[in-house]
Amino acid sequence: MVKMAEALVRLQTLAELPTVATVAAAFREAGHELALVGGPVRDAMLGRGTNDLDFTTDARPDEILRIVTPISTAQWDIGREFGTIGARIDAETVEITTYRADEYDGTTRKPVVAFGDSLEGDLVRRDFTVNAMALRVPEVALVDPSGGVEDLVAGILRTPIEPEVSFGDDPLRMLRAARFAGQLGFSVHADVRTAMAERAATLDIVSAERIQGELTKLLSTDAPREGIRLLVDTGLAERFLPEIPALRLEIDEHHHHKDVYEHSLTVLDQAIGYEKQRHPGEAPDLVLRLAALLHDIGKPATKRTEAGGVTFYHHDIVGAKLAKKRLTTLRYDGDTIRDVARLVELHLRFFGYTEAAWSDSAVRRYVRDAGPLLERLHMLTRADVTTRNRRKADRLGFAYDDLEDRIAVLREQEQIDAVRPELDGNRIQEVLGVPPGRVIGEAYRFLLELRLDDGPLGEEEAERRLLAWWAERDERG
């Protein structure tokens, strides 16, 4: 709950920040208006940390650059076309944008950039009322033409103008509603939700890169679950991430399988919990969160009803392929795509551990296959346990504790994170007396399998076994 007396004190504190005071004084001296706008004002009132300083002004871009140059150590005008000048002032990065009065043609997402003359006119063209508040500086006056304060107190997301008009201007704002629902923990006004459902198809004109950016921001919030649910319920997810609504499989009358959609949201929640527990204060792990959300997307395609119930054989392999295809379409980078797909592929591997004790060889292979993703695989696998059966959950938890303990012991004894044969390619050539070629790769793989099966052998024993393998290979022809 926002307490207005405390919120006003925080706004005063925001206005008194050295960087804010420096910029405000420079613009006043130049005869121009200046106001902090959007996120910094909202977050200050909520008592949240303020990471960005965004200003708006009646000054045009050339004049903004002239004003900030003497008080800054660096300036950039990459956003000049849209009225934005960036600067580094007092070790802080700030962005200052000319009042905007854009118009949209209703066909594309791109506005016809038009500069405005009033702060109030600029504010009403913004996405949500809680982002359409400004703090005039240096006089410290709150400007709120759309009732953002009331919505902030109520924890509601509304648009400053009719939502269908706002979303018609820029359909990406519908995804921003989901992101802010997760980021702020706010509910979405019924009119906004209705407009999102009615205009879901218009998201198709937005580029994959912009959609990916909002999905990433949503998943990077502390509680993305409700934002994802909003995207699914309004039909927006169907436009860019259809694998998630597809998880809402029909549950048979005997409940032979769990609700995969709700299970996936719970796995995401729990993965974030493990991430925060293991790495407090660090940046959100997008790879882990994407893998948690997508880990079961292979189930709809592999669902089979058999005498004993419902099965999803090989959904891990199918899911990895689907994840790679979807993330590629969304223009994620190659490393993210590769790592998420690999985690999806490996997420079931552990569950064989509870059925029969693994040999040291199996543990080595688990570590080898996970590679640098091992810790993420630990967190994903633990998060994948959502059963309400306390005894079953404890059994799985204890089993994974045991696996991690065994990995730690083998890591200390054998350096299993970098398992490789005792002999490299050059030494294999010397021992076998053969030139470089395919046989060297075959020999290397043979020695690697020995290393995984039997642990460290020592160079002498490795050479002996290599020669025996070579002799047997020659006999086979």
Q: Name the residue ranges covered by the structural domains of the chain.
A: 1-154, 156-240, 260-418, 425-476
Contacts of 204 (CB under 8 A, 6+ apart): 239
| Residue 28, Cβ density class (10 Å: 0-12 exposed, 13-18 middle, ≥19 buried) | middle
Residue 233 backbone dihedrals phi, psi, to 5 degrees: -65, -30
Question: Measuring CA to CA, how many Å separate 367 from each of 70, 79, 181, 378?
Answer: 56, 47, 38, 10
Start-end of H helices in 16-95? 18-29, 39-46, 61-68
Decide if pLDDT at 222 tops 70. Answer: yes
**How crowded is residue 442: how many other Cβ atoms within 10 Å of its Cβ?**
14
Which of 103-107, 271-275, 311-315, 383-387 has the weakest average pLDDT? 103-107
Query: Which of 104-108, 227-231, 255-259 has the largest mean confidence?
Result: 227-231
Question: Measuring CA to CA, how many Å separate 34 from each of 68, 235, 247?
Answer: 12, 40, 49
1-154: CATH superfamily: Beta Polymerase, domain 2 (3.30.460.10)
Q: Are 154 and 169 in contact (CB under 8 A)?
A: no
Reading the block at residue 140, the tokens are: 């410290």
pLDDT at 444: 83
pLDDT category of residue 282 using cuts at 50, 70 and 90: very high
Mean pLDDT within 308-320: 89
Decide if pLDDT at 16 tops 90. Answer: yes
Contacts of 403 (CB under 8 A, 6+ apart): 350, 353, 358, 363, 366
Q: Give the whole-angstrom CA distance, residue 337 versus residue 350.
A: 22
Geometric angle at alpha carbon 262, from 257 and 264, rounded to 5°:
90
Residue 53 backbone dihedrals phi, psi, to 5 degrees: -115, 105
Q: Are 341 and 324 in contact (CB under 8 A)?
A: yes
The alpha carbons of the chain give a radius of gyration, in whole angstroms, of: 29
Euclidean distance between the first and the last CA atom of the chain, given in angstroms as a whole number: 79
Cis before 145? omega within 30? no
Residue 16 CA to its chain's centroid (Å): 34
Q: Which amino acid is at 24?
A: A
pLDDT category of residue 215 using cuts at 50, 70 and 90: very high
Task: Give percent of the chain above pLDDT 90.
Answer: 63
**How crowded is residue 134: how many other Cβ atoms within 10 Å of its Cβ?**
26
**How crowded is residue 242: how many other Cβ atoms within 10 Å of its Cβ?**
12
Write the pLDDT tens digit of every residue in 400-425.
888 888 888 877 766 655 567 888 88
pLDDT category of residue 316 using cuts at 50, 70 and 90: very high
**Residues linked to residue 279 through DSSP beta bridges, in sequence order:** none
pLDDT at 225: 97
pLDDT at 58: 97
Mean pLDDT within 180-196: 96
Higher pLDDT residue, 389 or 10?
10
Decide if pLDDT at 155 tops 90. Answer: yes
pLDDT at 161: 95
Candidates 128, 81, 123; CA nearest to 100 is 123
pLDDT category of residue 253 using cuts at 50, 70 and 90: very low
| CATH class given for the domain over 156-240 | mainly alpha
Q: Are 367 and 409 in contact (CB under 8 A)?
A: no
Q: Give the whole-angstrom CA distance, residue 369 versus residue 350.
A: 12
Decide if pLDDT at 473 tops 60. Answer: yes
pLDDT category of residue 82 using cuts at 50, 70 and 90: confident
At what angle are helices 425-432 and 459-476 packed, to 10 degrees?
A: 60
Domain pair 156-240 / 260-418, same fold: no
Reading the block at residue 124, the tokens are: 């009403």
Q: Are 332 and 313 in contact (CB under 8 A)?
A: no
pLDDT category of residue 335 using cuts at 50, 70 and 90: very high
Mean pLDDT within 8-33: 95
- Is domain 260-418 annotated with CATH 1.10.3470? no
pLDDT at 388: 81
Q: Give the whole-angstrom CA distance, residue 352 versus residue 374.
A: 17
pLDDT at 254: 43
Write the pLDDT tens digit of every residue in 435-452.
888 888 888 888 888 877
Decide if pLDDT at 213 tops 90. Answer: yes
Geometric angle at alpha carbon 317, from 315 and 321, rounded to 5°:
110
Number of H helices, E strands in the chain: 23, 13
